[in-house]
Amino acid sequence: MKEILPNEVSPLLKGNSPVHIIDVREVEEVKAGKIPNALNIPLGLVEFRMQDLDKSKEYIMVCRSGGRSSRAEQILENHGYKVLNMVGGMKGWEGPTE
C-alpha cells in the first residue's frame, strides 16, 4: 500500500500538475468540508464508479481518518489503478477546504 501524508498533499495542490483526489466519505460528511476539487465517491460506490476513472492518472484517496480510504485504495489497486492513501485523512488535513 502506498501512502502520502496530509502535509505532502497540500503543496501538490499549489503545483502546476493536476492532482486527483477522491474523498470516499459519505455525502453528509463531505458537506462539512472537503479538499478543494476532490471528487466524492462514497466507499460503497467505489466498485461501481471505477470505470469513470482513468487508469493513466494517480489518485489520492481520502476519508475521515484513513481506514475507508485504505480499503478504497486496495479495491482500485487490485483493478490496476495507481492510488495513494492519505494517512490520517481529513483529521490530519490542515489545508483549505470547500
Cell 483526489 locates to 21
CA-angle at 3, arms to 59 and 64, nearest 5°: 80
Q: Is the separation of the CB atoms in 35 and 62 below 8 Å? A: yes
Q: Is 63 assigned a catalytic role?
A: yes
Catalytic-labelled residue, pool 63, 76, 84, 90: 63
- List active site positions: 63
